[in-house]
Structure 1
Amino acid sequence: MKIFLLEDDFSLNRLICNALEQKGFFVTSVDDGYDAMTHILNNKYDLYILDINVPGFSGHEVLEEIRKINKSLPVIIVSAQLDMDNISKAYDLGCNDYLKKPFELEELLLHIKYHIKTLYKNDIDKDIIDLGYGFSFDLKDQTLYKHEHEIILTQKEKLLLTLFIHNLDKTVSSEMIHEYVWDNKEMEAVSMRSMIHKLQKKLKSGMIVNIRGVGYKLMKKEFT
């Protein structure tokens, strides 16, 4: 799962990044609103964490741009601004949560965990997505299991599996994979095929199918 962080306090930025990466998330972090705008206009993320008072575009302006692109993905504001005008403006612009600084990292992780659940409405009371055939994926820890035994995934494999879970039984185009897993960075087609082949070998044969000329699909027809 991909999380975007806008925080201009270097120490706090690093603390949040390290805590999230230890949980298996892929984090893109910036410290000013200009870089934030560039990233959100050119890449896709699953959840956004924004400070308000940052150099360049403010967190409010970045939030407004995010909502032009996507109306539903979770946005958490983290700010020392405690006045009602700033809080009210953030909610009016479409934030899902407002976490007041200073906060404990565990508190932020709990908020993230809640919003991850909202992305999977059919599994809102579960941390574990059942993939069938004895496989399951822990949304909180970004971990794949087969009969409760962990299967080691690379960071890109975690991103790819998350993308497939977002689109169960739907075709995921090669362009979507390139954008989500590689952030639209230059890559060779063989790299994508190789990674998909490696993930296929870690799952049951036939779970990921090739839709010739279009992309790939994680099948759910026989899932439990």
Structure 2
Amino acid sequence: MKIFLLEDDFALNKIIKQSLQNRGFYVDSFTDGYKAIEFISNSKYDLYILDLNVLGFDGHKVLEFIRNDDLNVPIIMISAEIDIENIKKSYTLGCNDYIKKPFDFEELFLRIQYHLSHIKKDENSDFIVDLGYDFSFNLMEQTLHKSKFEIELTNKEKLLLTLLVKNINNTVTNEMIHEYVWDSKEMETVSMRTIVHKLKKKLKNGMILNLRGVGYKLIK
């Protein structure tokens, strides 16, 4: 799953990012509110972690910007500000959680698990999705298994399969893939086809359908 991190302390930013990556998350991290807004405009994430006091747009403005586009995505605020007014404003603007610094990284991970699990409950789904033919995919850990054996995936394959699984039996357009897997960055069409082809080889033939000129569909 994709996590967006905004934290202006370079050392803390690096530690949080590495900690989450070690847990299997794909993380984009920023230290500047202006750059964060610019990137958010062209990308989609499963969860946001926002520091309150950053350069450019502060965490509240970034929170408000996200909520204008998506009312449901989990947003966790992190801040050394402990006054009730900042906490109240954060929840009023729509954050799901507010963690006071300093915090234990295990606590942050538990909060992330909690909010992501509630999304899946709302969608009447579990983290481990049965794909049929003895294949299963863990949305939290982004791991693919055939029976009891894990099938190795690249980062791009993890993101693509996550997108397909979250939209199982529905069409995932080329535009959706471009946005989620490549963060809307410039890419060649052959790159997308290559990743899809490699992922198809790791699944049973026919599980991923090619909808020519439109996109792809994972069939269960």
User: Is the Cα contact below 8 Å between 1:135 and 1:147 reproduced in 2?
Assistant: yes
User: Is the Cα contact below 8 Å between 1:117 and 1:125 reproduced in 2?
Assistant: no
Q: Deviations over 1:54-79 (max 9, x none)?
A: 11111000000000111101101111
Does 2:62 align with 1:53?
no
Q: Secondary structure at the match of 2:156?
A: helix
For 2:184, the equivalent position in structure 1 comes to 184
Q: Secondary structure at the match of 1:42?
A: coil
For 1:10, the equivalent position in structure 2 comes to 10
User: What is the alpha-carbon distance in structure 2 between the residues aligned to residue 123 and residue 203 of structure 1?
Assistant: 25
For 2:137, the equivalent position in structure 1 comes to 137
For 2:159, the equivalent position in structure 1 comes to 159
User: Is the Cα contact below 8 Å between 2:120 and 2:127 reproduced in 1?
Assistant: no
User: What is the alpha-carbon distance in structure 2 between the residues aligned to residue 161 and residue 29 of structure 1?
Assistant: 22
For 1:80, the equivalent position in structure 2 comes to 80
- How far 1:25 sits from its partner (Å)? 1.3
Q: Deviations over 1:32-69 (max 9, x none)?
A: 11111111111111110000011111100000000011
Counterpart of 1:183, as a letter, is D
For 1:104, the equivalent position in structure 2 comes to 104
For 1:148, the equivalent position in structure 2 comes to 148
Does 2:14 align with 1:27?
no
User: Is the Cα contact below 8 Å between 2:2 and 2:46 reproduced in 1?
Assistant: yes
List runs of 5+ in structure 2 lacking aligned partners: none
Q: TM-score, normalised by structure 2?
A: 0.95
Counterpart of 1:43, as a letter, is S
Compare 137-146 and 52-61 and name the one that shifted more: 137-146
Q: Secondary structure at the match of 2:41?
A: helix
User: What is the alpha-carbon distance in structure 2 between the residues aligned to residue 165 and residue 100 of structure 1?
Assistant: 34
Q: Deviations over 1:131-184 (max 9, x none)?
A: 222111123322111112110000000000111122111100111111111111
Percent of aligned pairs with the same amino acid = 61
User: What is the alpha-carbon distance in structure 2 between the residues aligned to residue 188 and residue 90 of structure 1?
Assistant: 40
- How far 1:123 sits from its partner (Å)? 7.2
For 1:119-134, list aligned pairs within 5 A.
119-121=119-121, 126-134=126-134
Structure 1 stretches of at least 4 aligned residues deviating more than 2 Å after TM superposition:
121-127
User: What is the alpha-carbon distance in structure 1 between the residues aligned to residue 122 and residue 96 of structure 2?
Assistant: 19
Counterpart of 2:34, as a letter, is Y
Counterpart of 1:139, as a letter, is L
For 2:62, the equivalent position in structure 1 comes to 62
Counterpart of 2:142, as a letter, is Q
Give the root-mean-square deviation of aligned CA atoms: 1.4
For 1:166-177, list aligned pairs within 5 A.
166-177=166-177
For 2:209, the equivalent position in structure 1 comes to 209
- Work out the number of aligned pairs and report it: 220
Q: Secondary structure at the match of 1:204?
A: coil
Q: Using a 3 Å threshold, how does the CA distance of structure 1 residues 124 and 13 change in structure 2: closer, same or farther?
A: farther
List runs of 5+ in structure 1 lacking aligned partners: none
- How far 1:126 sits from its partner (Å)? 4.3
- How far 1:194 sits from its partner (Å)? 0.9
